[in-house]
Structure 1
């Protein structure tokens, strides 16, 4: 199993990088990436003072960034413990990815019906790059490219309601997607499912595209749920 690197540093943000809202968004982006890639895990506390010193920004945009992340469902804020990274249960993982699977399956169906040569070419380039990252076990570049493929399928489906609904759910699901590819067997299975999607899109096979992509996301949800179950079991043995 591949272990993600836990990084504690980040290049300081420029205090003059824009207005307070822009700085808050930058801070939120830093924290989102750390949560998604396991540098911050469920239950970890986010200490305003330490983050302010690290990123070289005042505590006001830090607080605004934390509010944004709470709306996203990525952190919880309480009076006594402050800001903590949120998680989800095995059952919640299944429910979350079941809904995402339905949305992405519909997006794949619509895309197969209407795909243009330009979009297909773009997907081909990303797919080739992603499979090479898998071959060389380059986890983070793989994940970033994989995410671009999923985003392009959604963005190109032509349904703005679907796009908006999917966007909010994916903020919580990204951490689970990264967890899933840390399982070597699931990682290889996921690449095969991407191969199948590309074949369906090349053939304009709408039913096959929808079926493959729905299964792909449900497999991810099942893997995340199983990994969370294992974490709970491991914690119980330690206790």
Structure 2
């Protein structure tokens, strides 16, 4: 394959991910128009990767192309963000149910390595990324391609929502302690209690997101 094409594809995905995060974080509001020249200048590239990024965003439902207006942000509604979190809970609950029948020893090692990195956390954004990687590893441990592929599609939107949760006051120390307890329960093969804790842990995100959405809806800074 042409190297230039590969590089353009990678750049398009990078641009798409950056715009997605800005949409989820509320830096780009629904109804705003995305300007090709602005992003071409920002990323130091031609318009081709920008157009491809806009196309990828449209496939994922973040933007829509409106005749005579251009590419406009659709954004996620409050209800859709809640749906995203519910899907996340559902997929992770399914995944942890499958762990009892898998050899997850290497997965637990990787999860413990992530816990070490989480203890040396920096910003909320850095912690959120490690948090996403931890939960993603749990899904990988299920050895279900279907669950992995579906979870991967949550990707950047889920990461951005989790970042919001930590910025809205979610206690990183408590989050880390619960992650450690989940790993401990899995090592002890106490899968039922691990699943219960995971479900409680995941649903703790909801009130923080509701708080954020209320502030965003009221125009609070």
**TM-score category, normalised to shorter length:** 0.7 to 0.9
Deviations 1:26-77 (A, max 9, x none): 2332341353264843335421012112223221221111111221233343
Q: Unaligned stretches of 5+ in structure 1?
A: 1-15
Aligned to 1:214: 199
Aligned to 1:23: 8
- The 4+ residue runs of structure 1 with deviation greater than 6 A are none
CA RMSD of aligned residues (A): 2.7
Q: Unaligned stretches of 5+ in structure 2?
A: none
Higher mean C-alpha deviation, range 48-57 or range 27-36: 27-36
Aligned to 1:163: 148
> How far is 1:232 from its partner?
0.5
Question: For the Cα contact (< 8 Å) 1:197–1:212, is it kept in 2?
Answer: yes
Q: Distance in 2 between matches of 1:116 and 1:64?
A: 39
1:42 aligned residue (17, 29, 53):
29
Distance 1:126 1:161, change over 3 A: same
Q: Distance in 2 between matches of 1:179 and 1:172?
A: 11
1:57 aligned residue (45, 49, 69):
45
Aligned to 2:78: 90
Question: For the Cα contact (< 8 Å) 1:89–1:228, is it kept in 2?
Answer: no
Q: Distance in 2 between matches of 1:61 and 1:42?
A: 22
> How far is 1:80 from its partner?
4.7
1:230 and 2:219 matched: no
> How far is 1:117 from its partner?
2.4
Distance 1:172 1:67, change over 3 A: same
Relative contact order (alpha carbons < 8 A, sep ≥ 6): 1 or 2 greater?
1
Question: For the Cα contact (< 8 Å) 1:72–1:172, is it kept in 2?
Answer: no
Aligned to 1:129: 117
> How far is 1:192 from its partner?
3.3
Higher mean C-alpha deviation, range 207-216 or range 95-104: 207-216
TM-score if structure 2 supplies the norm length? 0.83
Question: For the Cα contact (< 8 Å) 1:42–1:84, is it kept in 2?
Answer: no
